[in-house]
Structure 1
Amino acid sequence: MLRLRAMERGLNPKEAYDTLGKDPVLKDSVRNALVSEQGRLCAYCMCRIPRADVDTSAHISPIVLEHIVPRNPVDGRDVGQGLDYNNLVAVCHGNRGPRGTRTINDLTCDARRGNTELRKVNPCVESTLSTIEYKADGSIQSSDSDVLFDLEATLNLNYSSLIRERKSALQAVIDEMEMLLFDEALLKEYAESHLKVFLEETEEKTPFVGILVWYLRGFVR
């Protein structure tokens, strides 16, 4: 979509991004397509987008177009990644707030990441996410040190509010399953059926579904 427009106008990558990136109709079209493809979840933290707690009065975008490979990487390479639809994801506002109300430690997702390249995590490549696990307290983990660095240091996905939200989502499932603890067969049936539902969601996925899938898989192995 973006690259085709650039080719039609004979623009180089920088010219194309500067010109087409300011086209509100085109940007909205790309943003809406990504949000739909992602089941209305942030590609990084998996919250619902747009979040209800965005302070739009502070001119904060509720949904951000994020480049997986930075548009302006430290090494300066530019192979048109700014216009590559496959290099774009939709993310939340990253806990941005009015000027002076946030520190770097309060930011998450793209707001925290800035122009830092991810070492290994790519939300569009399932194999890069295979080592991700969770804890019952809602924290996100990985046995791969590079993946863990991406999750914690670069994206700040163990920020306190995200941990609480993941734990809350998980607790709702745990509460339902506790009523079945007396029957192992029913417990496994519940886990299998709900896991199937979560894995097959497309149009509107369950917020923080990652921790739910992780938990339920523990009952069907």
Structure 2
Amino acid sequence: MKYIEKQAPPAGLTAYCRTPGATYQGLKKKKALYKVVKEALANEQGYICCYCGRRISGKGDTQIEHIFAKGTPVYEEMQLDYETNLLACCDGGKGQRSQGTIRKEDLFCESVKGSDILPVIPLYRECESKFLFSEDGEIVGVSKDAEVTVKLLNLNSPVLKNMRKYAIDNYSLCPPADWGAELLRLRKRDQAGAYEEFCFVLESYITTYIHAV
């Protein structure tokens, strides 16, 4: 999980929120505006999933996530709150599930979160320090709230674990000449405004096992 610094909402969303009776379902029906909001969310996150860090494009592989479930009455008024409740999330493996390549129990992120409230969310500045990653791609929560978050999002799904391990293994095949410079690269966006997929996983690996500073 990588800290997300929220930006101002798109002007079109602000205008729509002033419409009497505005709802998230109503936003989805405004397809052009819905696409704008989804792209804006993905862009401010550097085109990685708000929870697992997989690459997202802001288009078909991306969905708008509500930190506080939109179907829960107590959070109904937050369903369009861009700055405190809306994020961009991957499909949680649903595409692979529909193709029969992964099991239902291997789904992750929003696909399994439901209406649960996460103890650790990417809007907390300290969220990145709450998790460590082993060389085999396993995510470990360093506190009880982080452990609960890992479980609620199924972040140790074999699918995610294998993807993280593959990313880490690339360093064994082609280690950088300067680990410090690699850390700096991982902390920056590329020219397209995107972070490296699983950038925070790789940062954790380098600082934990390579001891770069």
Specify if TM > 0.5: yes
Where do 1:121-200 residues align within 5 Å?
Answer: 121-151=120-150, 153-177=151-175, 190-200=178-188
For the 8 Å contact 2:106–2:158, the answer to whether it is kept is no
Q: Is 2:93 the partner of 1:95?
A: yes
Alpha-carbon distance in structure 1 between the residues aligned to 2:70 and 2:40: 20
SS in structure 1 of the partner of residue 29 of structure 2: coil
Q: Is 2:200 the partner of 1:204?
A: no
For the 8 Å contact 1:3–1:84, the answer to whether it is kept is no
1:92 positional shift: 1.0
* Residue identity in the other structure for 1:154: L
* Residue identity in the other structure for 2:28: G
Q: Is 2:112 the partner of 1:112?
A: yes
Alpha-carbon distance in structure 1 between the residues aligned to 2:53 and 2:144: 21
Alpha-carbon distance in structure 1 between the residues aligned to 2:32 and 2:88: 16
1:128 positional shift: 2.9
Uncovered stretches (5+) of structure 1, i.e. residues with no partner: 52-60, 181-185
For the 8 Å contact 1:50–1:92, the answer to whether it is kept is no
The structure number with the bigger radius of gyration is: 1
The 1:10/1:197 distance shift into structure 2, 3 A limit, reads same
Alpha-carbon distance in structure 2 between the residues aligned to 1:107 and 1:50: 20
Task: Give the number of aligned pairs.
Answer: 194
Matched residue, 2:17: 6
Matched residue, 2:25: 18
Alpha-carbon distance in structure 1 between the residues aligned to 2:52 and 2:154: 9
Where do 1:30-49 residues align within 5 Å?
Answer: 30-49=37-56
Alpha-carbon distance in structure 2 between the residues aligned to 1:157 and 1:46: 10
1:125 positional shift: 2.0
Instruction: Report percent identity of matched pairs.
Output: 27
Uncovered stretches (5+) of structure 2, i.e. residues with no partner: 1-9
For the 8 Å contact 1:46–1:208, the answer to whether it is kept is yes
* Residue identity in the other structure for 1:194: E
TM-score in terms of structure 2 length? 0.81
User: 1:114-133: CA deviations, max 9, x gaps?
Assistant: 22111x22112221332211
Matched residue, 1:84: 81
* Residue identity in the other structure for 1:98: S
TM-score in terms of structure 1 length? 0.78
Alpha-carbon distance in structure 1 between the residues aligned to 2:50 and 2:122: 6
Aligned alpha-carbon RMSD (Å): 2.4
* Residue identity in the other structure for 2:105: N
